[in-house]
Protein backbone atom coordinates (compact mmCIF):
# COMPACT_ATOMS: atom_id res chain seq x y z
CA UNK A 1 0.00 0.00 0.00
CA UNK A 2 2.28 2.64 -1.23
CA UNK A 3 0.94 6.08 -1.99
CA UNK A 4 2.15 7.54 -5.26
CA UNK A 5 1.99 11.10 -6.48
CA UNK A 6 1.02 11.16 -10.15
CA UNK A 7 -0.16 13.61 -12.77
CA UNK A 8 -3.56 13.02 -14.39
CA UNK A 9 -1.82 11.74 -17.54
CA UNK A 10 0.34 9.31 -15.56
CA UNK A 11 -2.68 8.12 -13.51
CA UNK A 12 -4.62 7.64 -16.73
CA UNK A 13 -1.79 5.61 -18.25
CA UNK A 14 -1.60 3.35 -15.16
CA UNK A 15 -5.39 2.76 -15.15
CA UNK A 16 -5.61 2.51 -18.94
CA UNK A 17 -7.95 5.53 -19.24
CA UNK A 18 -7.63 9.05 -20.65
CA UNK A 19 -6.22 11.97 -18.66
CA UNK A 20 -9.68 13.59 -18.53
CA UNK A 21 -11.17 10.37 -17.18
CA UNK A 22 -8.37 10.18 -14.57
CA UNK A 23 -9.14 13.76 -13.48
CA UNK A 24 -12.83 12.91 -13.17
CA UNK A 25 -12.02 9.78 -11.17
CA UNK A 26 -9.74 11.74 -8.81
CA UNK A 27 -12.52 14.27 -8.17
CA UNK A 28 -15.13 11.54 -7.66
CA UNK A 29 -12.91 9.68 -5.16
CA UNK A 30 -11.91 12.94 -3.41
CA UNK A 31 -8.22 12.18 -3.79
CA UNK A 32 -5.83 14.78 -2.36
CA UNK A 33 -4.44 17.09 -5.04
CA UNK A 34 -1.59 19.55 -5.18
CA UNK A 35 0.29 21.61 -7.78
CA UNK A 36 3.78 20.82 -9.00
CA UNK A 37 6.46 23.46 -9.63
CA UNK A 38 5.66 23.49 -13.33
CA UNK A 39 1.92 24.11 -12.62
CA UNK A 40 0.62 20.59 -13.29
CA UNK A 41 -1.84 18.98 -10.91
CA UNK A 42 -0.54 16.05 -8.88
CA UNK A 43 -2.74 13.45 -7.24
CA UNK A 44 -1.83 11.36 -4.22
CA UNK A 45 -3.21 7.89 -4.83
CA UNK A 46 -2.83 4.32 -3.57
CA UNK A 47 -3.42 2.27 -6.72
CA UNK A 48 -4.06 -0.90 -4.71
CA UNK A 49 -7.18 0.67 -3.15
CA UNK A 50 -8.67 1.91 -6.43
CA UNK A 51 -11.00 -0.61 -8.03
CA UNK A 52 -11.56 0.90 -11.42
CA UNK A 53 -12.52 -0.99 -14.57
CA UNK A 54 -12.39 1.19 -17.66
CA UNK A 55 -15.35 1.26 -20.04
CA UNK A 56 -14.69 0.29 -23.62
CA UNK A 57 -13.85 3.25 -25.84
CA UNK A 58 -16.58 4.88 -27.87
CA UNK A 59 -15.38 3.11 -31.04
CA UNK A 60 -16.70 -0.20 -29.72
CA UNK A 61 -20.11 1.35 -29.15
CA UNK A 62 -20.48 2.27 -32.83
CA UNK A 63 -22.00 -1.16 -33.50
CA UNK A 64 -24.45 -0.63 -30.66
CA UNK A 65 -25.37 2.79 -32.04
CA UNK A 66 -26.01 1.25 -35.46
CA UNK A 67 -28.23 -1.43 -33.88
CA UNK A 68 -30.12 1.22 -31.93
CA UNK A 69 -30.65 3.32 -35.05
CA UNK A 70 -31.96 0.25 -36.88
CA UNK A 71 -34.28 -0.52 -33.96
CA UNK A 72 -35.56 3.08 -33.95
CA UNK A 73 -36.25 2.91 -37.70
CA UNK A 74 -38.10 -0.39 -37.23
CA UNK A 75 -40.18 1.04 -34.40
CA UNK A 76 -41.00 4.16 -36.41
CA UNK A 77 -42.19 2.00 -39.32
CA UNK A 78 -44.32 0.00 -36.89
CA UNK A 79 -45.80 3.23 -35.51
CA UNK A 80 -46.77 4.28 -39.05
CA UNK A 81 -48.46 0.90 -39.61
CA UNK A 82 -50.31 1.13 -36.30
CA UNK A 83 -51.49 4.66 -37.10
CA UNK A 84 -52.80 3.46 -40.48
CA UNK A 85 -54.59 0.54 -38.81
CA UNK A 86 -56.07 2.90 -36.20
CA UNK A 87 -57.35 5.20 -38.96
CA UNK A 88 -58.99 2.21 -40.67
CA UNK A 89 -60.57 1.12 -37.40
CA UNK A 90 -61.85 4.65 -36.84
CA UNK A 91 -63.48 4.67 -40.29
CA UNK A 92 -65.13 1.30 -39.53
CA UNK A 93 -66.35 2.66 -36.21
CA UNK A 94 -67.86 5.75 -37.85
CA UNK A 95 -69.62 3.61 -40.49
CA UNK A 96 -71.08 1.28 -37.87
CA UNK A 97 -72.17 4.22 -35.75
CA UNK A 98 -74.05 5.78 -38.68
CA UNK A 99 -75.62 2.39 -39.43
CA UNK A 100 -76.72 2.02 -35.81
CA UNK A 101 -78.25 5.52 -35.89
CA UNK A 102 -80.22 4.65 -39.05
CA UNK A 103 -81.43 1.39 -37.51
CA UNK A 104 -82.48 3.23 -34.35
CA UNK A 105 -84.51 5.71 -36.41
CA UNK A 106 -86.19 2.83 -38.27
CA UNK A 107 -86.91 1.10 -34.96
CA UNK A 108 -88.48 4.24 -33.50
CA UNK A 109 -90.62 4.65 -36.64
CA UNK A 110 -91.74 1.02 -36.48
CA UNK A 111 -92.56 1.40 -32.78
CA UNK A 112 -94.67 4.48 -33.48
CA UNK A 113 -96.51 2.69 -36.29
CA UNK A 114 -97.10 -0.35 -34.09
CA UNK A 115 -98.50 1.81 -31.30
CA UNK A 116 -100.83 3.60 -33.72
CA UNK A 117 -101.99 0.26 -35.17
CA UNK A 118 -102.66 -1.15 -31.69
CA UNK A 119 -104.70 1.94 -30.81
CA UNK A 120 -106.73 1.66 -34.03
CA UNK A 121 -107.31 -2.05 -33.42
CA UNK A 122 -108.45 -1.36 -29.86
CA UNK A 123 -110.84 1.34 -31.11
CA UNK A 124 -112.26 -0.97 -33.78
CA UNK A 125 -112.64 -3.79 -31.27
CA UNK A 126 -114.58 -1.40 -29.05
CA UNK A 127 -116.90 -0.50 -31.91
CA UNK A 128 -117.46 -4.17 -32.83
CA UNK A 129 -118.21 -4.96 -29.19
CA UNK A 130 -120.71 -2.10 -29.06
CA UNK A 131 -122.38 -3.41 -32.22
CA UNK A 132 -122.66 -6.93 -30.81
CA UNK A 133 -124.08 -5.60 -27.57
CA UNK A 134 -126.64 -3.52 -29.43
CA UNK A 135 -127.65 -6.48 -31.59
CA UNK A 136 -128.04 -8.73 -28.57
CA UNK A 137 -130.04 -6.12 -26.66
CA UNK A 138 -132.88 -5.94 -29.11
CA UNK A 139 -133.86 -6.17 -32.70
CA UNK A 140 -136.14 -3.15 -33.08
CA UNK A 141 -136.10 -1.20 -36.32
CA UNK A 142 -134.54 1.81 -34.60
CA UNK A 143 -131.69 -0.30 -33.17
CA UNK A 144 -131.34 -1.94 -36.54
CA UNK A 145 -130.85 1.46 -38.20
CA UNK A 146 -128.24 2.56 -35.63
CA UNK A 147 -126.46 -0.77 -35.94
CA UNK A 148 -126.30 -0.43 -39.69
CA UNK A 149 -124.87 3.07 -39.37
CA UNK A 150 -122.29 1.90 -36.84
CA UNK A 151 -121.40 -1.02 -39.06
CA UNK A 152 -120.85 1.42 -41.90
CA UNK A 153 -118.50 3.48 -39.66
CA UNK A 154 -116.54 0.36 -38.69
CA UNK A 155 -116.21 -0.65 -42.33
CA UNK A 156 -115.00 2.87 -43.25
CA UNK A 157 -112.47 2.77 -40.40
CA UNK A 158 -111.18 -0.60 -41.57
CA UNK A 159 -110.79 0.67 -45.14
CA UNK A 160 -108.94 3.82 -43.93
CA UNK A 161 -106.64 1.78 -41.70
CA UNK A 162 -105.90 -0.55 -44.61
CA UNK A 163 -105.05 2.42 -46.90
CA UNK A 164 -102.68 3.86 -44.27
CA UNK A 165 -100.98 0.50 -43.84
CA UNK A 166 -100.49 0.05 -47.58
CA UNK A 167 -98.94 3.58 -47.90
CA UNK A 168 -96.41 3.06 -45.12
| Cα–Cα distance for residue pair 91/99, rounded to 1 Å | 12
User: Has residue 28 got a pLDDT over 70?
Assistant: yes
In this predicted model, what pLDDT tens digit does every residue of 79-101 receive, in sequence order?
999 999 999 999 999 999 999 99
Q: pLDDT tens digit string along 60-76?
A: 566 788 889 999 999 99
For the entire predicted model, the pTM comes to 0.42
Q: How far is CA 22 from CA 7, 57, 95, in A?
A: 9, 14, 67
Amino acid sequence: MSVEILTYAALGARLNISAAAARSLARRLHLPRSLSDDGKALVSVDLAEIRHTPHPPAGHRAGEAFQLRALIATLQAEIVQLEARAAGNRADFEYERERADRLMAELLQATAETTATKQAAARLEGEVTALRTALQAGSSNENHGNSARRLGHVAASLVEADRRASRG
